Each structure stands twice: as C-alpha cells, then as structure tokens.
Amino acid sequence: MLNLVLFGPPGAGKGTQAEYLIKDFDLNHVSTGDLLRSEIAAETELGLKAKAFMDNGDLVPDEVVIGMIGSKLEANKDAKGFIFDGFPRTVAQAQALDQLLTDHSTSVAAMLSLEVEKEELMKRLLNRGLTSGRSDDQDSSIIENRINNYNEKTAPLKDFYGAQSKLHSIEGQGSIEEIAKRLNDAVKSL
Ligand code: B4P
C-alpha cells in the first residue's frame, strides 16, 4: 500500500493537489474536511458537534476525526493506498494514524508538505470564500485563527515525520500544474 500524508496550512492546495495524486497513483482519497462537511450537510450528531469548531476556524476534537479515519480504512481494505488530505493535524492524530495503519499491516510512506506564504494563503481562501459558501473562508479573522492553529498545533508534525525521514517539503506557490509535477516527482522518487 502507498500511504501519503498531504500536508500544509489552510489554503496550501491540499484538496486541489489530492485530485492529481489520486489519478496519477490510483489512491483512495481521505479528506477529513470533506468528511466533516458531509456530516454537517446530513445534520448527523457528529456533524452538529463539528460545526461550531469549524465555523470558528478551530480544530475538531481528535477523537471525532480519528473515529472517521478508522471507519474509512476498515471500509477500503483492498485499496492500493490512501492519500490523507488534512489529516493528521495534531501529534495525537499522527500517533493514532500510525497505530491504525500498523493494525492493517501498513504504514505512512511519506509526508508531502506544501509550503506557501501566509499572504498567499489569505488571498486564496478569501477568493474561494466568494464562491464556496464556506463561512470559514469568508472572514479574515477566522482565516487568521485557522492559520494560527496550524502554526501552533499542526506544523509540529513536520518534526514528527522528519524524525522518521518521511518529510518531503514541496514549494506550494506557482501554477497548479507546476506544483502537481513537483508532487508527482517526489512520489516517484520514494
Ligand atoms: P479542510 O477542508 O482541510 O480545509 P483547507 O485546509 O482550507 O483546505 P485545502 O488546503 O484542502 O484547500 P485548498 O488549498 O486545496 O479543513 C477545514 C476545517 O475542517 C478545519 O479548519 C477544521 O476545523 C476541520 N478539520 C479538517 N480536518 C481536521 C482534522 N484532521 N482535525 C481537526 N479538525 C479538522 O484550496 C484553497 C484555495 O486555493 C482554492 O480556492 C484553490 O482553488 C486555490 N488554490 C489551490 N492551489 C492554488 C495555486 N497553486 N495557485 C492559486 N490558487 C490555488
């Protein structure tokens, strides 16, 4: 199995680039942001719990997100591999992912970290907010909170995967196609 963690701050291009990686390497896509938004749309108990956190730009509690990943792995045992998009976002989530993958006799092959400057992130997200209908993309103070949460709770995961020699930093500015090529080259070199 080829399991990739697609990493980066909000607006780094994770969802955008995941589409190319899925096609190029025939992987299953697991986006915790997308899974949470479908739970909210379906007005499930989990969705109702997650909504307030997401609307404020805060991380949803670890146990909620980890449970969703466990179900996805269980339901796709024959997959060639997974692309984890927006997960893990905390050290506890990364440890849980390692354990879940070990239980399925596999592991994370690489963390692909998209590097983008804050100014560009703000620009992309506010721009997406014009059409996405996502309230967390429409207000600069909420976007700031998301970026601060990333710097405080999520960025330390680079050390977590770096210590396992799995960190690959990728320049995340430029055209979408250029970045897709950089990611493709990085995966082929694994
Ligand atoms: P996500 O859905 O993961 O939201 P995101 O980080 O904003 O998405 P992404 O990074 O994929 O967007 P993209 O750059 O592709 O999370 C939303 C919320 O869910 C979180 O704030 C949190 O509350 C919760 N959550 C999710 N996972 C969680 C977890 N594991 N634990 C706890 N809470 C969790 O796109 C951004 C824009 O940039 C797009 O408009 C795109 O077109 C544009 N863009 C992309 N690449 C570009 C490029 N090269 N040039 C110009 N524009 C580009």
- pLDDT tens over the chain, length 190 residues: 999 999 999 999 999 999 999 999 999 999 999 999 999 999 999 999 999 999 999 999 999 999 999 999 999 999 999 999 999 999 999 999 999 999 999 999 999 999 999 999 999 999 999 999 898 999 999 999 999 999 999 999 999 999 999 999 999 999 999 999 999 999 999 9
Which pLDDT score is estimated for 177? 98
DSSP lists the bridge partners of residue 2 as 81
- Distance separating alpha carbons of residues 91 and 94, to the nearest angstrom: 5
Ligand 1 pocket member 12 (CB < 6 A): yes
Q: What is the dihedral of CA 154, 160, 164, 170, to 10 degrees?
A: 30
> Is 37 a known active-site residue?
no
Centre of ligand 1 from the C-alpha of residue 85, in Å: 9
Q: Which atom of ligand 1 is nearest to the CA of 149?
A: 21
Task: Considering the candidates 51, 134, 153, 158, report the single residue annotated as catalytic.
Answer: 134
User: Which pLDDT score is estimated for 115?
Assistant: 98
Query: Which of 128, 153, 158, 166 does the annotation list as catalytic?
Result: 128
**What integer pLDDT is reported at residue 158 of this predicted model?**
98
Going from the Cα of 124 to the center of ligand 1, the distance in angstroms, rounded, reads: 10
Is 146 annotated as catalytic? yes
Q: At what angle do helices 62-75 and 91-103 cross, to 10 degrees?
A: 20
**Any atom of ligand 1 within 6 Å of the Cβ of 65:** yes
Mutation probe of ligand 1 site: the residue of 38, 49, 60, 131 with most atoms within 8 A of C-beta: 60
CB distance 49 to ligand 1 below 6 Å: no
Predicted confidence at residue 137, as pLDDT, reads 95
Q: Which helix (H) or strand (E) holds 28?
A: strand 28-31
CB-CB contact of 187 with 24 (8 Å): yes
